[in-house]
Amino acid sequence: MATSAPLKLAVVGHTNTGKTSLLRTLLHDAQFGVVDSRPSTTREVIQTDVKIAQQVLLQLFDTPGLEAGTDLYDALNQLTEQHRHDGPAQVQVFLSSPAASEAYEQEAKVLRQLLQSDAALYVIDVRDPVLPKFQDELAVLARCGKPILPILNFVAQQPNHRAAWQQALNHVHLHVQIEFDAVTPPVEGEEILCQRLIALVPEFEPQLQAFAQARQQQRQQRWLVGSQQIAELLVDVAAYQYRVQGHETSEEHHEFLMRQVQERVKQREQQCVQELLALYAFELTAVELPQLNRQTGQWRDDLFAAQTFADFGIKTGLGLGSGAAMGAGVDVLVGGLSLGAGTAIGALVGGVWQGWNHYGKRLVGHLKGERELIVEDKVLQLLCLRQLALIQQLAQRGHGAQHIVQVADAQPLQQEWLRQVLQLLHKARKKPYWSSMVPAQFVVGKERHQCVTKLQQLLQDNVKFLLIRN
């Protein structure tokens, strides 16, 4: 019979198996509880409610880690004559004994909570072999008479003992199991977890189905919003123009101008990174990203360095030595025409660029007045790749993870897909007022909105493809 009460789930297991990390991932909360390599980090039972549309669907209880499983198993065996075939009664007698508040105080908290719960998630670190102490503590938990769903944690890490654990669980009739890595959970892991639980506690199917559906909708919404944030970034940068006045031609001044453009683009990317982290409920101080400065959110790998382009498979024709990338990614507009990607500003202003005659002498007058600096297509391509790689990693990262996310080595993009993206961005190049990077002239209009929407759809389809494929 179905019930409208929330499902009470006790999260149990040996110390340091990743119980709190699992809850962080399920709750999408990187700040829940305390994660530490030291044993017995969780000393008390911590309750948290999962609400969907103001209704509490689940009550999750993070319990202390079990440490004295074998001794507790032996102690409970002494009570078998009194309650030979009544496991919960044995546990109740034990909880009333002095040992429950002395030698086994921590284990008693776990058993007391399990008796008050509807079911348990038994978290197993498959990197550990199947030891007698683990089997003993599982036998003790089974005496509480509650359905138990084993969670095989850290299955993505090698070597592990997953097969041995599966066999050991089958031998004690725990055939319903799930592989759910708290660090790198499967894309639809929460839905699979709910289906496994429904098999054990079918009376709570409405609550579990509602939770699974809400998580699926949240995942789709994050894809939608994340692709929009990236689309806004690309349109802003494509439309951005840095106006140059005067006739200064010194090398120092040229370097200063290029750095002004580069810094402004980096700041806009930093804003997008922070938006994506917030979207996936990660904070800079809680996530280790090697390419990101934890304090500012900026990429440590210079967006305009030749090596950064090479890391993402983008050919620039530049050397990789020190200073070789100065000016990379900066183009010049004169009278609305591009004078060539990667051309040094000094050569242009000095009038010694070899390709000058290609544009005709009619542009000489423009060189004496205003010019606009823009970023090249390859920078837009790199911005797109970096944000897609980041959103892909965040979508597949559990909130209990402590490892470093590798954002480089993005999945290759189809050339036709990339051509469509750049074609949309070329429209933005002619609309400098589309860039929010210059607030004084920024205009939000229907045409810009349509461009962002089309680009968002292209990006969203690509993000889905990446996530499903992996």
Tens digits of per-residue pLDDT, 176-210? 999 988 888 877 888 999 999 999 999 999 999 99
Place of tokens 């198993």: 73
Listed residues 200, 231, 246: the one ending a domain? 200
Q: Is 283 helix (H, G, I), strand (E, B) or coil?
A: coil
Q: How many domains does the chain have?
A: 2
Q: What is the pLDDT of residue 337?
A: 43
Q: Residue 57: which CATH number?
A: 3.40.50.300
Contact 434, 317 (CB under 8 A): no
pLDDT tens for the 470 residues of the chain, in order: 577 899 999 999 998 888 888 888 888 876 664 444 444 455 689 999 998 888 899 999 999 988 888 888 888 887 766 777 888 998 999 999 888 888 889 899 999 999 999 999 999 999 999 999 999 999 999 999 999 999 999 988 889 999 999 999 999 999 999 998 888 887 788 899 999 999 999 999 999 999 999 998 988 898 889 999 999 999 999 999 887 665 555 567 767 777 888 888 888 988 998 899 889 887 765 555 555 555 555 555 556 655 566 666 666 554 333 233 334 455 544 444 444 433 443 333 333 333 333 333 334 434 445 567 778 888 888 888 888 888 888 887 777 666 555 555 545 556 677 888 888 998 898 899 999 999 999 998 999 999 999 999 988 876 654 444 44
Q: Residue 210 domain-assigned? A: no
Q: Residue 354 domain-assigned? A: yes
Contact 42, 64 (CB under 8 A): yes
Is residue 275 domain-shared with residue 403, that is, in the same domain?
yes
Q: Residue 431 domain-assigned? A: yes
Is residue 395 domain-shared with residue 353, that is, in the same domain?
yes
Q: What is the pLDDT of residue 30?
A: 67
Place of tokens 């004078």: 339
Q: Residue 423 domain-assigned? A: yes
Distance set, CA 236 to CA 101, 297, 308 (Å): 63, 19, 21
pTM for the predicted model, two decimal places? 0.77
Is residue 39 domain-shared with residue 73, that is, in the same domain?
yes
Q: Residue 208 domain-assigned? A: no
Is residue 235 domain-shared with residue 86, that is, in the same domain?
no
Domain span including residue 341 = 215-469
- 253/344 Cα distance (integer angstroms): 12
Is residue 224 domain-shared with residue 119, that is, in the same domain?
no
Listed residues 173, 200, 227: the one ending a domain? 200
Tens digits of per-residue pLDDT, 104-153? 898 999 999 999 999 999 999 999 999 999 999 999 999 999 999 999 99
Q: Residue 441 domain-assigned? A: yes
Is residue 224 domain-shared with residue 350, that is, in the same domain?
yes
- 463/12 Cα distance (integer angstroms): 35
Q: What is the pLDDT of residue 335?
A: 42
Is residue 418 domain-shared with residue 317, that is, in the same domain?
yes
Place of tokens 């994340």: 226
Contact 172, 389 (CB under 8 A): no
Is residue 390 domain-shared with residue 428, that is, in the same domain?
yes
Alpha helices in 334-469 (DSSP H): 345-350, 364-367, 377-395, 415-429, 446-469
Biggest CA-to-CA distance, the chain: 105
Q: What is the pLDDT of residue 31?
A: 63
Is residue 167 domain-shared with residue 236, that is, in the same domain?
no
Q: What is the pLDDT of residue 301?
A: 55
- What burial letters (b/e) apply to 112-142, b meaning 16+ CB within 10 Å? bbbeebbbbbbbbbbbeebeebbbbbbbbbb
Distance set, CA 13 to CA 44, 111, 124, 400 (Å): 14, 11, 7, 16
Is residue 294 domain-shared with residue 180, that is, in the same domain?
no
* CA 84-94-126 angle, 5° bins: 90
Q: Residue 235 domain-assigned? A: yes
Q: Residue 26 domain-assigned? A: yes
Q: What is the DSSP string of 39-99?
A: S----S-EEEEEEETTEEEEEEEE-PPB--HHHHHHHHHTTTTTTTT-HHHHHHHHHTSGG
Q: What is the pLDDT of residue 401?
A: 65
- 458/462 Cα distance (integer angstroms): 6
Is residue 131 domain-shared with residue 248, that is, in the same domain?
no
Q: What is the pLDDT of residue 397?
A: 79
Strands 7-12 and 46-52: unpaired
Listed residues 175, 200, 225: the one ending a domain? 200
Is residue 321 domain-shared with residue 419, that is, in the same domain?
yes
